[in-house]
């Protein structure tokens, strides 16, 4: 019996925090690469280093455990378009587990409180949470990081990779 791997090429920019990634979507000039650059400048925490996965095009492949793996097309691996500077090479991850989609919109389109339940989109047959972010806000890279950490903490098959599984959390008061 053969297992068919669902894979699709999507337009967007993908950044990772450690082993997990967010896909940034928006039209040309919407701020995908700009937000990605500012996200990559965030300080690493423990082993959670912000890194580029892909800019402009991203391969997304479904895995047998119901997760998605994002990776760059070979021809653009490690490259990002920086407006005014051209194509720049940066350190990157060859692949990361996709946990979140961030649609880049104007500040007026970002809800004050997120809708419940969280909207989802299906890529390569797998549903992912979607958030709306205003990419040019000063806080946008931190908001992206918080949204990614939140998405990972709410996804049971992804929690343990960040050390967020309930069985591994430490209670500061009890010393457990």
Got the DSSP string for 115-175? -SSPPEEEETTEEEEEEEE-TTSTTHHHHHHHHHHHHHHT-HHHHGGGT-SGGG---TTTT
For residues 51 and 39, give the distance between their C-alpha atoms in angstroms, rounded to a whole number.
8
**Under DSSP, is residue 107 helix (H, G, I), strand (E, B) or coil?**
helix
Q: What is the pLDDT of residue 40?
A: 97
Q: Please say whether the beta carbons of 128 and 67 come within 8 A.
A: no
Q: What is the pLDDT of residue 1?
A: 47
pLDDT band at 137 (very low <50, low <70, confident <90, very high): very high
Tell whether the model's pLDDT for residue 119 goes beyond 50.
Answer: yes
Phi/psi at 97 (5° precision): -80, 115
Taking each helix axis from N to C terminus, what angle separates 32-40 and 140-153, rounded to the nearest 10 degrees? Answer: 80
Residue 164 vs residues 11, 155, 161: alpha-carbon distances, Å: 30, 10, 7
Query: In degrees to the nearest 10, what's the CA dihedral of 43, 153, 9, 137?
Result: -50
pLDDT band at 5 (very low <50, low <70, confident <90, very high): low
- Structure token digits, residue 111: 């809800």
- Structure token digits, residue 167: 């069985």
Contacting residues for 136 by C-beta, under 8 A, at least 6 apart: 31, 34, 35
More confident residue, 40 or 157: 40
Q: What does pTM read for this prediction?
A: 0.85
Angle value at C-alpha 114, between 108 and 118, nearest 5 degrees = 125
HEC secondary structure over 72-96: CCHHHCCEEEECCCEEEECCECCCE
Tell whether the model's pLDDT for residue 28 goes beyond 60.
Answer: yes
pLDDT band at 174 (very low <50, low <70, confident <90, very high): very low
């Amino acid at each position: 019996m053969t297992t068919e791997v669902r894979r699709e090429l999507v337009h967007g920019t993908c950044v990772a925090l450690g082993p997990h990634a967010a896909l940034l979507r928006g039209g040309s000039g919407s701020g995908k690469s700009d937000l990605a650059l500012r996200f990559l400048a965030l300080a690493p925490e423990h082993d959670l280093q912000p890194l580029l996965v892909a800019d402009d095009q991203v391969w997304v492949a479904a895995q047998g455990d119901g997760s998605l793996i994002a990776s760059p097309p070979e021809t653009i691996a490690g490259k990002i378009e920086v407006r005014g500077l051209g194509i720049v090479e940066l350190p990157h991850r060859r692949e990361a587990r996709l946990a979140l989609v961030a649609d880049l919109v104007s500040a007026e389109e970002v809800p004050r409180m997120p809708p419940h339940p969280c909207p989802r989109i299906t890529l390569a047959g797998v549903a992912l949470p979607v958030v709306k972010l205003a990419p040019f806000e000063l806080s946008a890279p931190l908001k992206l990081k918080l949204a990614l950490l939140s998405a990972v903490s709410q996804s049971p098959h992804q929690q343990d990779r960040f050390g967020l599984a309930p069985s591994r959390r430490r209670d500061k008061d009890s010393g457990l």
